Each structure stands twice: as structure tokens, then as C-alpha cells.
Amino acid sequence: MQERPHLELRDVRFAYADGKAVLDGIDLAVPRGASWSIVGPNGSGKSTLLRIMAGLLAPDGGQVLLEGRELSSIRARQRARRIAFLPQNVAPAFGYLARQVVAMGRYPHVRGFGLESHHDWALVDEAMTWTQTDPLARRALNTLSGGERQRVLIAAALVQAGELLLLDEPTTALDVNHQIGIHRLLARLSAEHRWTVITVTHDLNLAAHFSQHVVMMKDGRIVAAGPPADVLTADRVEAVYGAAMHRLTHPGTGATPTTGRKPMPMARELTWRRWTLAVGASLAIAIIVIVVSLWVGTQRGEVSRAVSAVLHAVDDPEHDMARQLIFGLRLPRALLAMIAGVTLALAGTTFQALLRNPLAEPYTLGVASGGALGALLALKLGPAIGWDWSWMGPSPLQVAAFIGALVIVLVVYGLGRSMGMLNTYDLLLAGVTMALFCGAATLAVQYFAEYRELFGMIRWMMGGVETVGYPDIVSTLTLVVPAWVLLLTLAGALNQLSLGEELAGSRGVPVGWVQAIGFFAASLATGAVVAVCGPIGFVGLIVPHAVRAVVGPDHRVLMPCAALLGGAFLIVCDWGSLRLLPLYGRLRGEDFEGVQLPIGVITSLLGGPFFLALLLRSRRAERVAR
């Protein structure tokens, strides 16, 4: 009985949005354990065909069958466990170590927020040995040469699936020795382990020497398919490529290159123990900062009296005043700063991963500008239209700011969405454009404001965490806590997106959904914070980068640590807003007691130089990469 094809394509047709046919009538039957190469001139449809085989594109007509089952009927994560796909270009957004990148290939096999098991790491080390990348384990991917980076990514493809490997020009930028070594590796995997390997390549010599079967394409059609000797004839190559070819018989294969290197010490994997230590240390810092904040303020207050008033129900004016100062003003202020810092740090980390831009932060996409415009309109028009209330819950100013942020979020998302996914370039461009528009509208509102209104507008634009009691905290938590949960559950997917949308999609990440959920959750949570605290910039830029330098770029540990330390950071900035001017007054012999510096000024003074330092650092990294 004849064995069923491992992968089969029946009359597959495909055209992009412009209507131009890219593939027309493709019929292929790939047996299990085969080693195939797809060749053809640029624009012949080779890469598109490979993406259809990987399930990243749906054909306009025909069928794609994986062991007799429609590929489209297999869930993305299940498909990713059986098919590994390596695109042509993978540009890392952050400094992942090579061993971490290889381990990210195990994403389809790791559930939820879970970490890799000992078995997963054993597979990682085995794949790195196969691909001769073990000496690179502790080096950052973005510091490797093009050839070294490609071998690391091939190792990641090997640990992802054990059935079908699809590689789009896998030996691009490799030297001759490593080109031959990789193709020998792929041939050995096919021969010894019955892995089906399909490679798109422009190198006819490698295809002829290492492939069992060659498919030659031109203008979206298959010109010839069969053994290399039958397909790669001089006449056919000249007809397809428009270039003359002389065919020679290879004199021999030579021996497989071997290495006698000592095993290198491996990069330390992220285990639950290390995760707990990192997150526990961050939580301890956050708690300590909140407790210390009870002693920091513009007025003197005895914490011991406030605690006695609460625990022992001591009822006298001094204890009651201390209780109101400590638990009615300072603690709510610290908690609001913590909530704002957690939200802005989480949002910044998310936007940097979604946009694959280390300089992105929550205000890059115009969310804060929309919230500020809504708040200023409420300050200007609210009294005139009688929009006011004093019951428990958000104030008119907060509602208007949140509505302004929501409108900008919807506009930017609509402009940035293309073909079911977010185009990060369009998204960033739309965000910057809307931020400039809102900035201009804000200036117009201020121009027509009276002096009393103008003072309130300017002060609100500087940001602050002043609050009395807990109504603002409760109303803000109801909006931001669901966003926190959603963003934290996306941590593993954000790791994959940091390497590129195409690679993430091939590993079972629902790219469109992750982008939409991450964008809306981060944006609306930022809008909720802006509605209460006003614009507080640079927290989402400074904190993720500082924490990433300590715990690494893995979002599963980076996000919770950045959130907790972001809250602690903003509380410390608030200490500065409370104490810097009084300290300056003492140095000058002037009385500035009780005068506060807006917290947005503090974060901007810190964030400006930090942004420039990051920009210079990224440029130096680009020079090194070249």
C-alpha cells in the first residue's frame, strides 16, 4: 500500500489584494522524510508557496493537506507543533541571548504563562549542538553575524517541530563551510529521522547536491519537478533564468565537518525558582517603598499615632489628625502612584514588543494627547453646559479624559489595521500624527481659555497623583486591573512577536488577536491613568529598559518585574515632587514648605536624557552589527 503524502497541494491558487495571480494551479505531493528544494527566479512565487504550506496564508483556491487533513482545519498551535517555518529575515527587537531564542521555538509546546521544562532545555541544547551554535549560547542575538544568527534560528526551528521543516533561504549570509554544513544537517535529519525538509533557495549547486527532489518555478507555475539531474538541465535553467549554465559532475562529497570544541557554559534558563526570586524581589521593593511613603510628605505626621488610631480606636484630635494625614492622604497618594506606575510600565513594555521599537512608550500612539484634549475641553466647556456632579465615582474631568483617549485609540487602530493585522509602521505614524493633531487642538483650547481656566489647564497637563481618600483609586482599579491581567497573559506571545510577526504566526501565535488585545488593553489602561493623574511621561520608557538590563528581555519575567518596579519608581518620583522645592528653599533661605513640584516635571527631567542615551546606544549597536 502506497504511503500517504506528508504534505499535498492540489490545484492551489493565490493572488494578493491587487488581484495579480502569484500562484496558479500548483500540484505537489511531498512524501514523508523527503528533502526538497524549491528554486526559481525572484518573483516566481516561491516564498508565497512556502507561506501557504506553513498555513500563514490561505489559498484562494485548491487544497493544502497535511497527512490527508485540511491544513486550515488544524488549530494554529497544533499546526505549529508539526510544522516549523523559518522566514528570510528575522530582526530581533531586543537583546535575547542565542539560547533564549532557540528555546522560544518551544512556544507551541509550552502552555499559557508556563516556563520551559528540563526536557525542553535538553532539546534546545541538542539542537544547538547539531547546528554548531553552542559556543554562541551566551551571546545576544543582535550581536551575532548574519550567518551565526541564521544558524541559531535554524536551531529554533528544529526544536519547534519534529515532522516538517519549511525554510526560506536558510543559508543566506552563511559562508561556504556553513552552507554545506547546514545542508548536510538537513539532509541527515531527512535521512535518519524521516523529517520532511522543504527549502527555498537560489543556490542551484546546493539544491542539486543535497536535495532528493527539486521544484522549479516561474511566474507562479511549476516548470519542472523531479530529481535534480532531470530538472536542472542547462536548457531549462537558461529558459527560466535567462542565463547560460554549464553542468559539471561533482567529484565527491567529502567528509562532514566536525568540531572538537569544549562544551561552553550555557546561558541560564528561566526556571520557576528564578522567576519567583525576581518577581519576589520586585514585590518586596514595591512594598518597602509604599511603607516608606507614609513618612514622606510636606507636613509632619506621626505614623505611630495614625496606626494607634486605627488599631486601638484611639479617639482624640491628635490621633485623628494623624490618621487622616497618613491613611487619608499619604497612603492613597502612594497607592495611586503605584497604580499609575504599574500601568505605564506594563503599557510601555507591551508597546515596545508590539511595535518592535525599544523607544516606544505609552504616549507614542497619541493616547495621552487624546486624554489631555478631552480633559481640557471639560475644563473649558463643562461649567458652561452644566456638566458637573459630586457623587462617588469618576469626575466629569476624568470621564472626558477617558473618552478623549478612547476616541484616539479607535482612530489610530483603524488607521493602523491592514489585512487583519496591525501594520506597526502605519500604527506608529498614525499615533504620532494624532498626537500632533491633539497637541494643536490643545493649544487652541488654551488660547481661548480665561486666565483662571488656563492656570488649571497648565497645572493638569503637568501630571500629579494628588488624591483624597480612595474613590479615585477604586474607579481607576476597575479599569486597569482587567488590562493588567490581559497584558500579563500575553507575555509569551510578545516574546515571539519581538522576533517578527511572520515567525510568531508560524509558531501558533494568533498575531492579529494578540496585537489587538495588547494595543487596546495598554491604550485604554493608559487612558484611565491619564484621566486621573494627567499626562506623566517617560515611565513606560525608563522602567522597562532599566528592568530589562537586570532580568533580561524575556517578557514572562520582565513584565511583572517592570510593573512592580514601575509603581515603586513613580512613588519615588513623587517623593521628589514633595521634597525638592522645600529643600531648594532651605538652600536659598526661602520658605517653600508645602509647595510641590508636579510629578510629570520630575519624570520628564529624568526621561529626556534617558531617551537620548538610548538613542545613542541603539546607534552604536547598529554600527557594531554592521
**CATH code assigned at 290:** 1.10.3470.10
Q: What is the mean pLDDT of the chain?
A: 84
Question: In this structure, is residue 534 part of a structural domain?
Answer: yes
Q: How far apart are CA 327 and CA 309, in angstroms?
A: 10
Indicate the burial class of 361 (C-beta count within 10 angstroms; 0-12, 13-18, 19 or more).
buried
Which range among 145-154, 173-182, 192-201, 497-506 shows the weakest confidence by mean pLDDT? Answer: 173-182
Question: In this structure, is residue 206 part of a structural domain?
Answer: no
How many other β-carbons are positioned within 10 Å of the β-carbon of residue 621? 15
How many other β-carbons are positioned within 10 Å of the β-carbon of residue 263? 10
C-alpha to C-alpha distances, 605 to 474, 520, 537, 597, 600, nearest whole angstrom = 30, 29, 10, 12, 9
Task: Judge whether residue 96 has pLDDT over 70.
Answer: yes
Question: In this structure, is residue 262 part of a structural domain?
Answer: no
Q: How far apart are CA 308 and CA 319, in angstroms?
A: 7
* Domain boundary residue, one of 145, 160, 175: 160
Length of the chain: 626
- According to DSSP, the residues that pair with 63 across neighbouring strands are 10
How many separate domains does the chain show? 2
Per-residue pLDDT band for 379 (boundaries 50, 70, 90) equals confident
Q: What is the per-residue pLDDT for 26? A: 93
Task: Specify whether 308 is located in the same domain as 448.
Answer: yes
Task: Judge whether residue 257 has pLDDT over 50.
Answer: no
Per-residue pLDDT band for 259 (boundaries 50, 70, 90) equals very low
Q: What is the per-residue pLDDT for 269? A: 73
Domain that includes residue 131, residue range: 86-160
Place of cell 495611586: 336
Whether residue 198 contacts residue 52, with contact meaning beta carbons closer than 8 Å, is answered with: no
Spell out the long-range contacts of 50-54 with Cβ–Cβ below 8 A and sequence spacing 24 or more: 50/85, 50/166, 50/168, 50/198, 50/200, 51/85, 51/502, 52/9, 52/12, 52/14, 52/23, 53/7, 53/9, 53/83, 53/166, 53/198, 54/83, 54/85, 54/166, 54/506
Per-residue pLDDT band for 91 (boundaries 50, 70, 90) equals confident
- According to DSSP, the residues that pair with 421 across neighbouring strands are 418
Grid cell at residue 267: 546561558
DSSP letters along 107-166, please?
GGGS-TT----HHHHHHHHHHHHHTT-GGGTTSBGGGS-HHHHHHHHHHHHHHH-SSEEE
Task: Judge whether residue 32 has pLDDT over 60.
Answer: yes
How many other β-carbons are positioned within 10 Å of the β-carbon of residue 486? 17
Task: Judge whether residue 103 has pLDDT over 80.
Answer: yes
* Domain boundary residue, one of 134, 160, 186: 160
Grid cell at residue 393: 465615582
Q: What is the per-residue pLDDT for 296? A: 86
* Domain boundary residue, one of 97, 125, 160: 160
C-alpha to C-alpha distances, 123 to 1, 138, 389, nearest whole angstrom = 34, 17, 62
Which range among 357-361, 368-372, 501-505 shows the weakest confidence by mean pLDDT? Answer: 357-361
Question: In this structure, is residue 11 part of a structural domain?
Answer: no
Task: Judge whether residue 116 has pLDDT over 80.
Answer: yes
Question: In this structure, is residue 125 part of a structural domain?
Answer: yes
**Most confident residue range from 85-99, 332-346, 431-445:** 332-346
- According to DSSP, the residues that pair with 97 across neighbouring strands are 140
Q: What is the per-residue pLDDT for 336? A: 94
Question: In this structure, is residue 227 part of a structural domain?
Answer: no
Indicate the SS3 state at residue 263. Answer: coil
Per-residue pLDDT band for 457 (boundaries 50, 70, 90) equals confident
Place of cell 512594598: 287
Task: Judge whether residue 577 has pLDDT over 50.
Answer: yes
Mean pLDDT of 225-232: 90
Which range among 65-79, 97-111, 259-273, 593-607 shows the weakest confidence by mean pLDDT? Answer: 259-273
Q: What is the per-residue pLDDT for 579? A: 82
**For the chain, first and last CA: distance in Å?**
55
Amino acid identity, position 608: G
Indicate the SS3 state at residue 212. Answer: coil
Q: What is the pLDDT of residues 55-83, one digit of tens each?
A: 999 999 999 999 989 999 999 999 999 99
Mean pLDDT of 6-22: 87
Amino acid identity, position 362: P
C-alpha to C-alpha distances, 543 to 282, 360, 387, 485, 496, nearest whole angstrom = 12, 12, 38, 19, 21
Q: What is the per-residue pLDDT for 83? A: 93
Question: In this structure, is residue 19 part of a structural domain?
Answer: no
Q: What is the per-residue pLDDT for 539? A: 92
Grid cell at residue 248: 559539471
Grid cell at residue 555: 517578557
Question: Higher confidence at residue 17 or residue 345?
Answer: 345
Question: In this structure, is residue 197 part of a structural domain?
Answer: no
Mean pLDDT of 69-98: 89
Per-residue pLDDT band for 554 (boundaries 50, 70, 90) equals very high
